[in-house]
Amino acid sequence: MKPTEELKEEHDAIKRMLRILERMADRLDAREDVRIEDIREAIGFIQGFADRCHHAKEEDLLFPAMEAAGVPRQTGPIAVMLAEHEQGRAHVRAMIKALDEHVAGVSDAAQRLADNARAYTALLRQHIDKEDGILYVIADARLSPRQQEELEKGFARVEREVIGAGQHETYHALLDRLSAAYLTG
């Protein structure tokens, strides 16, 4: 499997979590029950799977390989992706702050949590579309088979050393559990 195909598979999991997060925001708006622990776990998925795993593979491995293949980092698609990663992280920080304030009883915190969840969801959806439709196409065209092989090894190293053995399965089990709670019925 090409490295970009692995990243696209990870996008599928991230998009599933975005649907869950959006449903949580809808429930918060409707003042329906949303387990605080579910929200924390959804945010943990975003921080662990989407950022520490997926974005790390892009920022630490794919983007430098593309840069070495002549794709500029300071302008164009790589620069846009890096900026959007930072915007996403800002939304996640805002969600964490709003969640903590919601738990503490601050009156408008649930609304800020829902608003930031929606902003993150909207950002990531269009971000994923750009990566799948533009960035990865460029990577596949520019990276040699040897560079692709090195990326595959690097991605495996991230899975092993940064994320840890079995963590992918744990994230997918969380997706299944939260999907059953928020995406069915």
Give which of 152, 117, 109, 163 is closest to 17, Cα–Cα.
Answer: 117
At 33 the pLDDT is 84
Instruction: Provide the CB-side half-sphere exposure for 122 (13 A, CA).
Output: 8
Taking a C-beta distance cutoff of 8 angstroms, is the pair 53, 13 a contact? no
Question: What is the band of 167 on the pLDDT scale with cuts at 50, 70, 90?
Answer: confident
pLDDT digit string, tens, across residues 64-74: 999 999 999 89
What is the dihedral sign for C-alpha 84, 85, 86, 90? positive
Rounded to an integer, the average pLDDT of 1-27 is 95
Give which of 21, 60, 16, 64 is closest to 40, Cα–Cα.
Answer: 21
Tell me the one-letter amino acid at 85: H
Distance in angstroms (rounded) separating the CA atoms of residues 159 and 53: 7
Count structural domains, the chain: 1
Q: With 0.85 as the threshold, say if the pTM is over it.
A: yes
| Nearest-10 crossing angle of helices 36-45, 76-103 | 160
Question: What CATH number is attached to the domain comprising 36?
Answer: 1.20.120.520
Residue 39 has pLDDT above 70, yes or no: yes
Give which of 120, 97, 119, 122 is closest to 108, Cα–Cα.
Answer: 97
Distance in angstroms (rounded) separating the CA atoms of residues 74 and 76: 7
| Containing structural domain, residue 107 | 3-182
Residue 185 has pLDDT above 70, yes or no: no
